[in-house]
Amino acid sequence: MPFRENISLGACTSFGIHSIARYFSAFSTVDDLQELLMSVEQLSSADSRLKTLILGGGSNLLLCGDFNGFVLKNEIAGIIEVHEDNEFVYVKAGAGENWHRFVQYCISRDWAGAENLSLIPGNVGASPMQNIGAYGVELEDIFWGLEAWHIKEQKLVTFTKTDCAFGYRESVFKRKFRDQFVILNVTFQLRKKPRFNTQYGAIEQELALMGVKELSIKAIADAVIRIRSSKLPDPAVTGNAGSFFKNPSIQAEQFAALKKSYPNIVGYPNSDGTIKLAAGWLIENTGPDSTTSWKGFRRGDAGCHSRQALVLVNYGNASGQEVFHLSEEILQSVKSTFGVELEREVNVVGCEL
């Protein structure tokens, strides 16, 4: 598989930010990947400064400049039913499959469990890395296993749910094994008989507005799509990576103290006794000065979306560095106002303060 040189990555990420990859290629099979990694090893032996980036759907990535190295785009496709029992069907999907299309594929076959995760941008391969979640469901709830290629040892490794050590928007692939593996495929455990989850957010209200009389996984998916479309900008129109920050958790004592000063602060109890705060509320209730909220704030073409403060956007020609600096200002502002440290959910590459 040959590399192309000096390729723009603007169309490869949902932020749509201009960035040039020194070397770029795509792979659709394990053999292709092995061939590319051999080429990477040969070329980088002459220049140790060259880095390697495995790129999926590019929906959770902020690039802050040109990438001096190798960008390998994962395009492994395919969806197959590998097994079923009385209660579940087990479905394997290639890492390069679009996540939303995969969810729609499952719904069309009445395989339940993924419907609340409709319209999340990105590809299947990123779903366990991030442990994506929305509307009361996380990826780990339907995860069965995955296969990944160990880059250094050049071998196939199978991961179970336990191996992945899932947490809130976390997995071993984000920290312990960061940049060590290429996820090839993911197998999901989906229910033949659905267990509807409509308690989170505005799903029940949206179903009522839709006039749904008989609940189904398609109705829930349609409700989630309507809600997300009304609140979040379409990356095809306005560059963004969805939620830029995680919802932080704090001790109950700290939440009680904040509640006295900010009665409207939004928080939800975690199973461990801590309180998960709504990062969007924190961002919306502080700003670059005492009279301005970050929500709807814009500087040049970098901004904070007017309908969802968690979403940083590129209105056209913002640089990755400009978006990153805006995120840093928001982090400092929230910490100064509430004493709470936010954490970026988006994977940041090449950004400097």
3 state DSSP class of 31: helix
d(CA 109, CA 342) in angstroms, rounded, equals 39
The range of the structural domain enclosing residue 187 comes to 79-231
Q: Are residues 273 and 220 in the same domain?
A: no
d(CA 53, CA 58) in angstroms, rounded, equals 11
The token pair at 136 is 């009361």
Q: Are residues 244 and 330 in the same domain?
A: yes
β-strand pairing of 155-160 with 67-74 = unpaired
CATH number at 271 reads 3.90.78.10
Instruction: List per-residue pLDDT tens for the chain, 353 residues long.
Output: 689 999 999 999 999 999 999 999 999 999 999 999 999 998 888 887 899 999 999 999 999 999 999 999 999 999 999 999 999 999 999 999 999 999 999 999 999 999 999 999 999 999 999 999 999 999 999 999 999 999 999 999 999 999 999 999 999 999 899 999 999 999 999 999 999 999 887 899 999 999 999 999 999 999 999 999 998 999 989 999 999 999 999 999 999 999 999 999 999 999 899 999 999 999 999 999 988 999 999 999 999 999 999 999 999 999 999 999 999 999 999 999 999 999 999 999 987 65
Query: Per-residue DSSP letters for 97-108?
Result: SBHHHHHHHHHH
Q: Are residues 52 and 120 in the same domain?
A: no
- Quick check: 156 and 147 in contact, CB under 8 A? yes
Bridge partners (DSSP) listed for residue 112: 191
Looking at the 3D structure of the chain, how many domains does it have? 3
Give the pLDDT of residue 139: 97
**Cβ neighbours for 142, distance < 8 A, ≥ 6 positions apart:** 113, 114, 188, 189, 190
Task: Among 231, 262, 288, identify where a domain stops.
Answer: 231
3 state DSSP class of 61: strand
CATH number at 151 reads 3.30.465.10
d(CA 102, CA 84) in angstroms, rounded, equals 18
Q: Are residues 173 and 87 in the same domain?
A: yes
Residue written as token pair 């090839």: 184
pTM: 0.92
Q: Are residues 85 and 226 in the same domain?
A: yes
CA atoms within 13 A on the CB side of 279: 22
CA atoms within 13 A on the CB side of 222: 13
Q: Are residues 320 and 215 in the same domain?
A: no
Q: Are residues 64 and 84 in the same domain?
A: no
Neighbours of 197 (CB within 10 A): 17
Instruction: Catalogue the active-site residues.
Output: 169, 243, 345
Q: Are residues 224 and 109 in the same domain?
A: yes
Q: Are residues 111 and 222 in the same domain?
A: yes
Q: Are residues 95 and 224 in the same domain?
A: yes
Q: What is the largest CA-CA distance in the chain?
A: 65
Give the pLDDT of residue 290: 84
d(CA 131, CA 345) in angstroms, rounded, equals 11
